[in-house]
Copies of this chain bind each other. A is one copy, B any other.
């Protein structure tokens, strides 16, 4: 067995405001052969996700902070190249938390073997079938508590999480309004995902007015991915006893100075609104139920997935940065293998 060279992306300084390529460095390391209980894995796809921005802060509260001058990490799917553990063998496909590197050595019990339902769609395990898909499912069912016939508003609606929220809510009999940053994304939601109305927040003018117009009977659930003026609009148009599943607030992630919040928070009291911040990693207990619904939905064409694929670990930082300028259409992944 020969040694391998791995390419890793390290965080070398903490961004203030929008990250730049100077915050990251590509580092090559030599990997030894795996020994007792270890496996050598070649990552085929890695995920870049907005939440990773929070991990670049020293005082990260959502998920543990990335250490400086170390490889970052996150969701990836790879193939076992060499195994020194009986539970895995070369060729096995494994989900792992070791993104931001193209190869790595790990204890076999820190990765999860998957039997792909379609070997051509491995990257789905980082999106619709992975963390973002489960996030959508948990947010809607556990915190949105949407009921048939209700109206659901989704921000970042064509994103990795948002597009699943839209489609699941439609499958469950809701009226769905999505906010997006381009007409092409909006058209895809309307044509392919069956969303009832879309708002292009970059061109609609006042989002509250656009939402009120798209939801003349008000909204009952808001799936929050953006914050700021989207949250303000949702509060404005929300019906009494509305629920907000707060998954993220990407509008604020790169603020060097914090921006003020909505000026209508008193509506939380007035309308008896519930807001739940949540993180998907608390809800692994819902994964089996999620997969049992989602895999058939994908196979039957009821849930569609868009992906934006960057090629090669050298472009992983660009892929990540693109999340904040809306370059991704659907799930952003980096193809490594």
Residues of A within 8 A of B (CB): 54, 61-62, 224, 227, 231, 240, 246-249, 252-253, 258-279, 282
Contact A54 B270 (CB under 8 A): yes
What's the Cα separation between A277 and B253 when bound, in Å?
Answer: 26
Known: A272-B278, A274-B276. A261 touches B258 (CB 8 A): no
Contact B227 A267 (CB under 8 A): no
Contact B231 A271 (CB under 8 A): no
What's the Cα separation between A316 and B116 when bound, in Å?
Answer: 72
Residues of B within 8 A of A253 (CB): 266
Known: A261-B260, A261-B261. A275 touches B268 (CB 8 A): yes
Residues of B within 8 A of A259 (CB): 263
Q: How many subunits of this chain does the assembly comprise?
A: 2
Known: A259-B263, A261-B262. A269 touches B282 (CB 8 A): no
Contact B266 A249 (CB under 8 A): yes
For A265, give its contact among B231, B263, B271, B272 (CB under 8 Å): B231
Contact A248 B261 (CB under 8 A): no
Please give me the residue from chain B that is nearest to A268 by CB atom: B277
Please give me the residue from chain B that is nearest to A272 by CB atom: B277
Residues of B within 8 A of A274 (CB): 274-277
What's the Cα separation between A252 and B266 when bound, in Å?
Answer: 7
Contact B265 A261 (CB under 8 A): yes
What's the Cα separation between A78 and B198 when bound, in Å?
Answer: 55
Please give me the residue from chain B that is nearest to A251 by CB atom: B266
Q: What 9 pairs between A and B have smallest CB-CB spacing?
A: A261-B261, A260-B260, A258-B263, A61-B270, A62-B270, A268-B277, A275-B275, A269-B277, A261-B265
Please give me the residue from chain B that is nearest to A258 by CB atom: B263
For A260, give its contact among B231, B263, B266, B276 (CB under 8 Å): B263
Known: A227-B266, A252-B266. A272 touches B282 (CB 8 A): yes
Residues of B within 8 A of A258 (CB): 263-264
Residues of B within 8 A of A264 (CB): 258, 261
Contact A270 B277 (CB under 8 A): yes
What's the Cα separation between A277 and B242 when bound, in Å?
Answer: 10
Known: A273-B277, A276-B274. A246 touches B268 (CB 8 A): yes
Q: 7 extra interchain contacts, Cβ-Cβ under 8 A, other than A61-B267, A274-B277?
A: A61-B271, A246-B268, A252-B265, A259-B263, A261-B264, A268-B275, A272-B279
